[in-house]
Amino acid sequence: MSKQSQTSRKTVKDIAKAKNSTPLVMLTAYDAPMAEVMDPHVDMILVGDSLGMVVHGLPSTVGVTMEMMILHGQAVMRGSEQAFVVVDMPFGSYETSEDQAFLNAARIMKETGCQAVKIESGAYAARQIAHLVERGIPVMGHIGLRPQAVNVDGGFRAKGRTDSERDIVLEEARATAEAGAFAIVVEGVAEDLAAEITKQVSCPTIGIGASASCDGQVLVAQDMLGLFDWAPKFVRHYADLRTDMDKAFAQYAADVRSREFPGKTETYSLRKPAPKQP
């Protein structure tokens, strides 16, 4: 029996019940070991297209492909048991038409076994969200700072800090919720705007750089673990793994060069044959 069949995962209904209740906990994961460690502690795992930058060293998420998302989604599903797993739809996989969005979303769900997909939902994406939901695909929206729009925005910058931008973000939120999204990631907006969005939409909001006013929070795991020498303002470091890893690699290198590693305990010895019985 597979790991996934032994344990019941959280469902869309479980996520929906968290509105105005105990905040939802969400982190990103891109591989099986990370997913396995965080799985008992989180409600949701996001296989984000941030993997393009975090894992593959790309300058933005724009270069991420369907194949990359599926490969990492499969790994996370193998490593987790109870968390609700959401996989990002990469740039160019849903914008053209409702049919394009459905075919690519269906492929992600069929090939990974995930529970939902996420779409960066400008107002134009409401049609795609409704089309997917009507056909049995749960959709998480993503409004405010949308990383896939980095080339239009000229960089990664907070949204909704002027009256005109505020109206746009509010409209994105309303359109996304009304189209049937079961939850909405709200990224890089001011606290009062995040609070207003959370009050106006019926589905849970998941904040990232959007204050504790939201119904839950998500962070890139590598950011909160301190694996990079820089992190966005909204990240709190819960560990300093970059320093720990640097020390470990330096010690390993020193032990190899001094022939301290491998030692006797890490080395196989010749097995002596058992004495013959008389």
As annotated, the active-site residues are: 187
**DSSP secondary structure letter of residue 234:** T
State phi, psi for 71 to the nearest 5 degrees: -60, -45
Q: How far apart are the first and last CA of the chain?
A: 48
- Is 49 annotated in a binding site? The answer is yes
HEC string for 236-262: CCCCCHHHHHHHHHHHHHHHHHCCCCC
Residues 101, 92: Cα–Cα separation, whole Å: 9
50 is in an annotated binding site: yes
Phi then psi for 125, rounded to 5 degrees?
Answer: -80, -5
121 is an annotated ligand-binding site residue: no
* Number of Cβ within a 10 Å radius of residue 58: 16
| Beta-bridge mates of residue 141 | 119, 184
Cα separation, 154 vs 114, whole angstroms: 32
Distance of alpha carbon 110 from alpha carbon 160, whole angstroms: 36
- Ligand-binding annotation for 276, yes or no, is no
The rounded radius of gyration (Å) of the Cα atoms in the chain is 22
Q: 84 — phi, psi (to 5°)?
A: -80, 120
Structure tokens at 275: 């004495």
Q: Which pair of tokens denotes residue 143?
A: 């409004």
Strands (E), the chain: 24-28, 44-47, 84-88, 116-120, 139-144, 183-187, 205-208, 216-219
Binding-site residues for 3-methyl-2-oxobutanoate: 49-50, 88, 118
Binding-site residues: 49-50, 88, 118, 120
Binding-site residues for Mg(2+): 49, 88, 120
